[in-house]
Amino acid sequence: MTEKMVVLVTAPDEENAAMIGRTLVEERLAACANIVGAVRSIYRWKGEICDERECLLVIKTASEKFRELEKRVRSMHPYEVPEIIALEISEGSKPYLDWIAENIRLG
């Protein structure tokens, strides 16, 4: 059975996040992409401390699709180094996990 995962991606604004999320779902690399608006990110970039508003994408997929999803996100993302972090789902509702599998392109 394919492992399911959540992938976190920040984006500079809701429009960019929606474009990324919609593309991943349309291309069946993700079953779902939730957009959490107005997160505040504080980070160091090129020696400076940055304090920015961003959106957070919470993407549901399967582990075997991660590399393709990562490559696709990089191709669309405006950041030089986009945040793309994958977390395996250790437990979850079986009907929901089955739904993820049904809605991505496996194999």
Greater confidence (1 vs 8) lies with: 8
CA dist 6 → 57, 66, 89, 95, 107 (Å): 10, 10, 7, 16, 19
0.75 surpassed by pTM: yes
pLDDT of 9 above 90: yes
Per-residue model confidence (pLDDT) at position 107: 58
As a CATH number, domain 4-102 is 3.30.70.120
DSSP conformational letter for 91? S
Per-residue model confidence (pLDDT) at position 2: 77
Percent of the chain with pLDDT over 90: 95
Give 73-91 pLDDT, tens digit per residue: 999 999 999 999 999 999 9
pLDDT of 32 above 60: yes
